């Protein structure tokens, strides 16, 4: 990533954002009592921000996921600017993949040829929202367009008239008109209202067939309370207000898009546009997962189903090729974990002498991901501590520091298993592969390292030769596990007997397959049960 040089004193460059003159503001004393209309723009605004946009198959998978979650309005693309989006919209319509209660939306600027192309893409759709936009803030008027306010307003009115003509020529579709005054949050409020009122006068919405006015924070430039003031001002002063759905589209440039969206609901907004997990240009759009689940946490039914959030996260990560942060609200892998376990481990380490191991090398490998778990017998406070998460496996070679490994440590069972579930709820058969050289000077062990933990496993294995192809069934195995967390070390040893071991002479590999040792989990700590003969719980 390119190094970003920041100003030593950025406050000298910027001016304070002007306050909104709003007397008797009511949003601070209001409470939210109902969920807004949700509109997902993952397939348009989110997709166009990706380094590698989604292909048709990925967009279809994502669309079906959004439908399953419960979105009733989905922006599916920019068909006048992208042949891929045009083909995708046609695929949804021709193959009848749009449910009866879902309305698709498309994006279009105020240009005659692009509006015509947009209606070609929507031909035959049962319902559709045509989303018109143009930028209206002073900097765009002066620098980009070099046009006056009247010229900017006339451009939007002309586009609205063209959309109305195309819609009237296709009575088989229920058309909804949406207008976004792009860069609304940095536009003079009276001018923003003037443009929106002019378009409403052209479209003529009714209470039964409303028009959508979407107010975007195209680049977040002020605090959420200022955005709430802007929304309440528009809510009070818009013409045709009872025939308009007031929508917001916050971006996250200052990191407060979720707060801005929630305060906008207090200020009079009826609808929120955003993306799952906050995808989008620059720092992204408002995170709809967080906003919706915040409402659920307040006892307000969001109307969206995030009961299988882990699967939703995996689909989003696969289609967008963007990871969801580990500490992302609600959806992150560690979002629901506290610090108690870490404090418990640190207290336990203070009672142990410091140990020293030296790592020789670390090489990437394609071996199967494994999970190492340790359990202080018989299941003390540190029981079931998952030391690794599913990650790209590594091949680690270790050299034991002479004289540093204590010989009088209390036994600690070491379990090796494959993690295929969320939160280690599923345990499956384990395979650990050891690559041996002829001198047996060191052993390479396939591990999946944790986020901050460095796992080191030393095997002192008495190897005996066997005829080619014959397995060596019951070799004693001695495992020593060293975990380095921060600066302290914990070292434990445990002799494990009677593990089925097979040697592949041709591949020069050795496999351990404890097939039946981890069939059940302890109901107290979720650690694998071991037979009583090995010093564990046992199984009834």
Question: What domains does the chain contain, in order, with CATH numbers?
Answer: 35-320 (3.20.20.70), 340-534 (no CATH)
Cis peptide before 378 (omega within 30 of 0): yes
Nearest-angstrom CA–CA distance, 199 and 213: 10
What is the tens place of the pLDDT at every residue in 483-540? 222 222 323 333 333 333 343 434 333 343 333 333 344 444 444 444 444 444 444 3
Q: Please calculate the CA angle 315-316-320 and round it to the nearest 5 degrees.
A: 120
Nearest-angstrom CA–CA distance, 294 and 276: 14
Phi, psi of 276 (to 5 degrees): -60, 135
Is the pTM for the entire model greater than 0.85? no
What is the tens place of the pLDDT at every residue in 389-447? 332 332 322 223 223 333 333 222 233 332 223 333 333 333 333 332 322 223 333 33
Could you tell me which of 410, 405, 399 has the C-alpha nearest to residue 374? 410
pLDDT computed for residue 112 by the predictor: 96
What is the tens place of the pLDDT at every residue in 319-341? 999 999 999 999 998 887 765 55
Nearest-angstrom CA–CA distance, 369 and 333: 17
Is residue 482 classed as helix, strand or coil in its secondary structure? strand
Judge residue 170's burial from the number of C-beta atoms within 10 Å of its C-beta, 0-12 exposed, 13-18 middle, 19 or more buried.
Answer: middle
Cβ-proximal residues to 425 (8 Å cutoff; 6+ apart), any chain: 526
Q: Report the largest interatomic distance among the alpha carbons of the chain, rounded to a whole angstrom.
A: 92
């Amino acid at each position: 990533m390119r190094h970003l040089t920041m100003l030593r004193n950025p406050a000298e460059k910027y001016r304070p954002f002007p306050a909104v003159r709003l007397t008797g503001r009511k949003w601070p004393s209001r409470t939210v009592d109902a969920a807004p209309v949700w509109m997902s723009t993952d397939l348009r605004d989110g997709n166009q921000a990706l380094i590698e946009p989604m292909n048709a198959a990925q967009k279809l998978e994502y669309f079906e996921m959004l439908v399953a979650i419960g979105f009733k309005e989905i922006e599916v693309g920019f068909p006048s600017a992208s042949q891929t989006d045009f083909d995708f919209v046609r695929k949804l319509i021709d193959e009848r993949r749009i449910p009866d209660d879902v309305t698709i939306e498309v994006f279009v600027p105020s240009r005659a040829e692009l509006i015509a192309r947009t209606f070609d893409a929507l031909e035959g759709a049962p319902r559709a929202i045509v989303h018109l936009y143009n930028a209206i803030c002073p900097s765009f008027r002066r620098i980009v367009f070099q046009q006056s306010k009247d010229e900017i307003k006339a451009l939007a009115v002309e586009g609205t008239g063209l959309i109305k003509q195309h819609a009237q020529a296709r009575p088989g579709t229920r058309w909804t008109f949406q207008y976004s005054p792009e860069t609304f949050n940095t536009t003079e409020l009276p001018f923003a209202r003037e443009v929106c009122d002019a378009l409403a006068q052209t479209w003529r919405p009714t209470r039964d067939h409303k028009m959508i006015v979407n107010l975007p924070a195209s680049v977040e430039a002020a605090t959420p309370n200022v955005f709430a003031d802007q929304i309440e001002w528009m809510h009070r002063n818009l013409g045709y207000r009872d025939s308009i759905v007031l929508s917001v589209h916050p971006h996250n440039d200052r990191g407060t898009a979720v707060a801005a969206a929630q305060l906008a609901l207090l200020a009079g907004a009826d609808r929120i546009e955003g993306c799952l997990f906050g995808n989008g240009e620059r720092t992204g759009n408002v995170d709809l997962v967080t906003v919706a689940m915040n409402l659920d946490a307040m006892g307000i039914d969001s109307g969206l189903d995030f009961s299988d959030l882990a699967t939703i996260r995996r689909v989003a990560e696969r289609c967008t090729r963007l990871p969801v942060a580990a500490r992302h609200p609600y959806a992150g892998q560690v979002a629901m974990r506290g610090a108690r376990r870490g404090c418990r481990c640190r207290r336990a380490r203070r009672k142990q002498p410091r140990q020293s191991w030296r790592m020789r090398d670390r090489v990437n490998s394609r071996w199967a991901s494994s999970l190492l778990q340790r359990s202080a017998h018989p299941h003390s406070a540190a029981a079931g501590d998952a030391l690794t998460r599913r990650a790209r496996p590594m091949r680690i070679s270790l050299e034991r520091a002479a004289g540093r490994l204590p010989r009088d440590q209390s036994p600690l069972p070491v379990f090796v298993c494959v993690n295929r579930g969320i939160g280690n709820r599923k345990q499956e058969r384990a395979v650990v592969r050891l690559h041996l050289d002829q001198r047996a000077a060191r052993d390479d062990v396939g591990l999946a390292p944790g986020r901050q933990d460095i796992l080191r496993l030393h095997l002192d294995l008495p190897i005996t030769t066997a005829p080619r192809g014959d397995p060596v069934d019951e070799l004693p195995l001695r495992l020593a596990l060293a975990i380095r967390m921060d600066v302290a070390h914990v070292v434990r040893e445990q002799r494990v007997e009677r593990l089925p071991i097979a040697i592949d002479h041709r591949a020069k590999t050795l496999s351990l397959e404890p097939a039946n040792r981890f069939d059940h989990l302890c109901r107290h700590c979720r650690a694998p049960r071991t037979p009583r003969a090995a010093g564990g719980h046992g199984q009834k």
